[in-house]
């Protein structure tokens, strides 16, 4: 089930779309407007390669998230320890008063319950909206992970901004006070 006012959003992208640029721009605009966007956004293309790195939000610090394999320097893989350390730093910043959590990917690690999955739960438990980039081929896994309690967004700023306006509006301003969203009922 989908609810446009759900505070968990999947920015679903297909090959050829670049969620990184959409999320970078969104986070920058939010922070410039006085909101505190917290999280991590991948730099560059949305595939794992030798250039896999990300930016911490809001600090702008760039992190390498890959490790080269000694036996084959042309190959690399995600460095779980670096991702875990980044997740701990994001959690601390989120606890300091984040308005939204932005997560770069629902990837292989998150599908298994690892990676940055714990941050999503932590943010939602604190009633902090979450947006995460989800590749279209993992969307069914995302629905399972989210228990169906998510909104599916196109990979563009218009969709993302419309969702943000709904979830960040003061309570009652866009909906009657007696109306509970599906996500609120489940909480």
Determine which of 27-31, 79-83, 111-115, 137-141 has the lowest per-residue pLDDT on average.
79-83
pLDDT over 90 (residue 181): no
Average the pLDDT over 84-109 and give the result.
92
pLDDT band for 68, please (50, 70, 90 cuts): low
pLDDT over 90 (residue 99): yes
Instruction: Work out the percent of the chain whose per-residue pLDDT is above 90.
Output: 56
Q: Write the DSSP string, the chain.
A: -B-TT-SEEEEEE-TT--HHHHHHHHHHHHHHTT--EEEEEEESSSS-STT-EEEEETT--EEE-EEEETTEEEEEEE-HHHHHHHHHHHHHHHHTT-SEEEES---HHHHTT-TTHHHHHHHHHTT--EEEEEEGGGHHHHHHHHTT-BEEEESSHHHHHHHHHHHHSPTTSSS-TT---HHHHH-
What pLDDT is attached to residue 52? 73
**163-171, Cβ contacts within 8 angstroms, sequence gap of 24 or more:** 163/4, 163/9, 163/131, 164/26, 164/30, 164/100, 164/129, 166/4, 166/5, 167/5, 167/6, 167/7, 167/9, 167/129, 168/35, 168/99, 168/100, 168/129
Average the pLDDT over 14-31 and give the result.
95
pLDDT over 50 (residue 2): no
What pLDDT is attached to residue 177? 45
What pLDDT is attached to residue 183? 53
Average pLDDT, the chain: 83
Average the pLDDT over 18-30 and give the result.
95
pLDDT over 60 (residue 166): yes
Average the pLDDT over 110-131 and give the result.
91
- How do the domains of the chain map onto residue ranges? 8-186
CATH of 8-186, one of 1.10.260.40, 3.40.50.300, 1.10.3720.10, 3.40.50.150: 3.40.50.300
pLDDT over 90 (residue 128): yes
What pLDDT is attached to residue 50? 47
Distance CA 105, CA 13 (A): 10
């Amino acid at each position: 089930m989908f609810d446009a006012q759900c505070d968990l959003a999947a920015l679903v992208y297909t090959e050829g779309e670049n969620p990184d640029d959409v999320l970078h721009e969104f986070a920058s605009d939010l922070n410039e407007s006085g909101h505190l966007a917290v999280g991590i956004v991948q730099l560059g293309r949305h595939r794992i390669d030798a250039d896999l790195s990300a930016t911490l939000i809001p600090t702008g610090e760039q992190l390498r998230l890959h490790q080269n394999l000694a036996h084959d320097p042309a190959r690399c893989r995600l460095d779980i320890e670096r991702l875990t350390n980044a997740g701990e730093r994001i959690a601390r910043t989120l606890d300091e008063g984040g308005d939204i959590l932005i997560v770069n990917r629902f990837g292989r690690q998150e599908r298994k319950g690892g990676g940055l999955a714990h941050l999503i739960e932590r943010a939602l438990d604190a009633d902090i909206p979450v947006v995460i980039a989800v590749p279209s081929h993992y969307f069914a896994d995302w629905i399972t992970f989210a228990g169906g309690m998510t909104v599916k967004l196109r990979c563009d700023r218009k969709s993302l901004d419309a969702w943000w306006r709904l979830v960040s509006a003061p309570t009652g301003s866009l909906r009657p006070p007696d109306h509970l969203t599906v996500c609120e009922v489940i909480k």
